[in-house]
Amino acid sequence: MYIKRMALYRFRNLSEKIVHFSDSLTIVVGENARGKTNILEAICCLISGEGFRESKEEELIEIGKSDMQLDGIFIVGENEHHYRILLQKGKSGTALKTFFVEKAHKGQKQYIAEQTKAVLFAPEQVEIITGAPSLRRLYFDHVIGSFDYSYKVHISNYEQALRKRNKILEYYHGGNIDEQLSFWDTYLMKEGAAITQTRQNYIEFLNNNSHLDGREFKIAYEKNEFSRERLQNKKELELKIHKTLIGPQKDDFTLYLLDKEGEAKNIQKYGSRSEQRLGIFWLKMNEIRYMEKELNIKPILLLDDVFSEFDHGNKERILNLIDEHQTIMTTTDKEFVGEIEKKNNNIKTVFV
* 3-state DSSP assignment of residue 315: helix
pLDDT, residue 268, reads 94
Distance CA 218, CA 286 (A): 12
Position 121 in a domain: no
Contact assessment for residue 39 and residue 341, using Cβ atoms and an 8 Å cutoff: no
Residue 238: which CATH number?
1.20.1050.90
User: Which of 295, 318, 342 finishes a domain?
Assistant: 295
For residue 27, CA distances in Å to 9, 127, 310, 322, 352 come to 21, 25, 17, 12, 11
**What's the mean pLDDT in 140-148?**
94
Q: Between 51 and 151, whose confidence is greater?
A: 151
pLDDT, residue 322, reads 83
Domain count, the chain: 2
User: Which of 295, 315, 331 finishes a domain?
Assistant: 295
**What's the mean pLDDT in 127-149?**
95
User: Which of 295, 327, 344 finishes a domain?
Assistant: 295
Structural domain that includes position 15? 1-116+298-352
% of the chain beyond a pLDDT of 90: 74
Residue 45: which CATH number?
3.40.50.300
End-to-end CA distance of the chain: 26
For residue 74, CA distances in Å to 88, 136, 225, 233, 323 come to 24, 31, 41, 53, 19
**What's the mean pLDDT in 295-323?**
83
Q: Does position 134 have pLDDT exceeding 90, yes or no? A: yes
**141 & 267 share domain:** yes
pLDDT, residue 335, reads 76
Q: Does position 344 have pLDDT exceeding 90, yes or no? A: no
Q: Does position 346 have pLDDT exceeding 90, yes or no? A: no
Q: Does position 256 have pLDDT exceeding 80, yes or no? A: yes
Question: Given pLDDT bands bounded at 50, 70 and 90, which one contains residue 61?
Answer: very high
pLDDT, residue 90, reads 81
Pick from 167, 350, 188, 154: which is nearest to 242 by CA? 167
Side-chain-side CA neighbours of 87 within 13 Å: the count stands at 26
Question: Given pLDDT bands bounded at 50, 70 and 90, which one contains residue 98?
Answer: very high
**319 & 335 share domain:** yes
Contact assessment for residue 27 and residue 349, using Cβ atoms and an 8 Å cutoff: yes
Contact assessment for residue 91 and residue 52, using Cβ atoms and an 8 Å cutoff: no
pLDDT, residue 343, reads 67
**215 & 334 share domain:** no
Position 103 in a domain: yes
pLDDT, residue 261, reads 85
**210 & 346 share domain:** no
pLDDT, residue 251, reads 98
**307 & 288 share domain:** no
Distance CA 3, CA 23 (A): 7
pLDDT, residue 91, reads 77
**205 & 108 share domain:** no
* 3-state DSSP assignment of residue 34: coil
**159 & 17 share domain:** no
pLDDT, residue 66, reads 93
Contact assessment for residue 304 and residue 120, using Cβ atoms and an 8 Å cutoff: yes
**What's the mean pLDDT in 200-207?**
98
**57 & 107 share domain:** yes
**What's the mean pLDDT in 247-267?**
94
What DSSP state is assigned to residue 58?
G
